[in-house]
Amino acid sequence: MFLQVRYLKGILLLLLIVIIGCNSKRDKDSVVINRLPVIFPDYTYLTIPPNIAPLNFKINEEGDKFEVVISCGEQSFSIKSKNGKVIIPDDKWKTLLKHAVGKRITYTVYAFLNEEWQKFSSFTSEVVEEKIDQYLFYRLLYPGYELWNEMGIYGRDLTSFDETPLIENKSVHNHCVNCHSFNQNSPDTFMFHMRGERGGTIISKGGHVDKLNVKTQNMLSGGVYPAWHPNGKYIAFSTNKIQQFFHAQGDKLIDVSDFASNLVVLDTETNTVLSDSSIQSSEYMETFPNWSPDGKYLYYTSAVQRTDTMAYNTIRYNLMRVAFDAQEKKFGQVELIYNAEKDGKSVTFPKISPDNQYLMFTLCDYGTFSIWHKEADLYMMDLKTKAVTKLLVNSNDVESYHSWSSNSAWFVFSSKRLDGQCARPYFSYVGKDGTASKPFVLPQKDPEFYNSFLKTYNITELVRGPFDFDTWKLVREASFRAEKVNSLD
């Protein structure tokens, strides 16, 4: 037995020497290409969390075969590929990430062409200590308006490639399911709307599910855009009269505009709706509510009430807030936080970081439906100084919906930069100085996934963990008739 062990060790040592020798010869004889390799997705020079799935990519260079060496200090492994696809083994990736926290991972790409190896310039990724929330929830649907009958809300484990449906509309009579929202990134408290004949707002708190008809006789519509109060008791909703516009030419073939909108707050414990003249006025249109992390302020966007003589592309929304006393259920004074109209812009999707340091929002030329606006970009306000900065994550195409990770270190946003049609989720790290890092697209097992996947990712929300109850409970509750809510007045 002792001789067998020594024999096996000798074989392994010999193989290691051969491998090192081959690699040394490859490096010595390689033709140096003084540029980065062309890869897709672009995962060069990133800042990444220590709990992200393998960043698989495709080498878009000529070559009969390829090899990539991925390393951090003494930890190193290589991946060989005939078609240029670099599929990183999950176990090796996780071991490397654990070792690389606070350090950099180096990638070196080789291509074998015309009987010689080419070595491209290496690139790195920095692995920071702050984790990203484990799950990303989103609605998947086709990027238009005519195929809404095939959609669902799904959860993706960001540490792997596992995707699980929360609810699909084929399970609920092909009704539209939309506008899902989570309280403080928690999987235990969430809601979504179901539109149609059997529609309603499905609310889940601690495993208990209700279906409500969030519409009173004084409301413009049922609840539309939601925002959970941090105490989990209240949900702020906009109520909107929405109109779609279709154009035969130009950059925006589809446009959406509000004819009127207000805000209300639902008390989920008493199923009553409360509001106030400050957020339900006849002079202004209020929409896109979002609470401050301490629950003392309700942020929203507001524009002058539209009239029949106003063109929809002249309507611009400013950023506002109003004080709220959760105990007394009373609203205070309205404040103007950012005058976007003065800059010829319109604010959508105000979102405050959980640590209450920054407020991120989208700016477009007009209106509220920024997903159809090619010029839409992300901006961030320092809540201490009120200084507004255009983020470096923006591209030449649409940047729109966004949400924060629970530790305020990461955010996800929707971008159409890949093809101009489908929104994809991108992640970025926020440094101590408030600077956002180079964004990277949601990793997929097949690096060419986005070349053929034609659905758009809608309302991307970061959530701390998976659901711990049977999702069929949602389907069962969705089939019941919605309970009507009452007005506090």
Tens of pLDDT, residues 358-412? 999 999 999 998 888 999 999 999 999 999 999 999 999 999 999 999 999 999 9
Encode pLDDT of 175-191 as tens digits: 888 899 999 999 999 99
SS3 label, residue 149: coil
Query: Quick one: which of 158, 180, 185 has its CA closest to 167?
Result: 180
In a domain, 203, yes or no: yes
Condensed to tens digits (0 to 9), the pLDDT of residues 250-262 reads 565 567 778 899 9
Q: How many domains does the chain have?
A: 2
Q: Is residue 9 part of a domain?
A: no
Same-domain pairing of 80 and 173:
no
Provide the token pair at 249: 């030419």
| Together in a domain, 59 and 150 | no
Residue 41: cis peptide before it, omega within 30 degrees of 0: yes
User: Do 119 and 166 belong to one domain?
Assistant: no
Residue 392 sits in a domain whose CATH number is: 2.120.10.30
| 108 and 160 both lie in a single domain | no
- Residue at 19 is within a domain: no
Higher pLDDT, 144 or 178: 178
Other Cβ atoms closer than 10 A to 468: 8
- Closest C-alpha among 217, 175, 223 to residue 203: 223
* In a shared domain, residues 53 and 150: no
Same domain, 161 and 48: no
Is 123 in the same domain as 150? Answer: no
Residue 49 lies in a domain: yes
Q: Which of the listed residues 96, 127, 158 is the one where a domain comes to its end? A: 127
Could you report the per-residue pLDDT of 41-50, keeping only the tens digit for each?
999 999 999 9
pTM for this structure?
A: 0.92
Going by pLDDT thresholds of 50, 70 and 90, the confidence category of residue 174 is confident
Domain presence at residue 385: yes
Least confident of 332-336, 447-451, 479-483: 479-483
Determine the Cα–Cα distance for residues 224 and 178; give it in Å rounded to an integer: 9
Q: Percent of the chain having pLDDT more than 70? A: 91
Residue 4 lies in a domain: no
Domain CATH code at residue 59: 2.60.40
- What mean pLDDT, rounded, does the chain reach? 90
| Residue 1 domain flag | no
pLDDT in tens, 2-35: 445 455 444 444 444 444 445 555 777 789 999 9
Question: How much is the average pLDDT of 50-70?
Answer: 98
How many CB atoms neighbour CB 283 within 10 A? 7
Residues 453 and 393 in one domain: yes
Q: Which domain holds residue 366?
A: 135-486
Q: For residue 36, with 0-12 CB atoms within 10 Å meaning exposed, 13-18 middle and 19 or more buried, which class applies?
A: middle
- 232 and 115, same structural domain? no
Q: Do 276 and 302 belong together in one domain?
A: yes
Same domain, 118 and 153: no
Asked if 180 and 298 sit in the same domain, the reply is yes
- Mean pLDDT to the nearest integer, 272-289: 94
The residue out of 92, 127, 162 marking a domain boundary is 127
The DSSP bridge pattern shows strands 284-291 and 297-304 to be antiparallel
Q: What is the pLDDT averaged over residues 53-66? A: 98
Q: Which residues of 360-370 are buried (b: 16+ CB within 10 A; e: fewer)?
A: bbbbbbbbbbb
pLDDT score of 313: 87
Report which of 168, 110, 111 is spatially closest to residue 139, judged by C-alpha positions.
168
Q: Is residue 17 part of a domain?
A: no
Domain finish residue from 127, 154, 170: 127
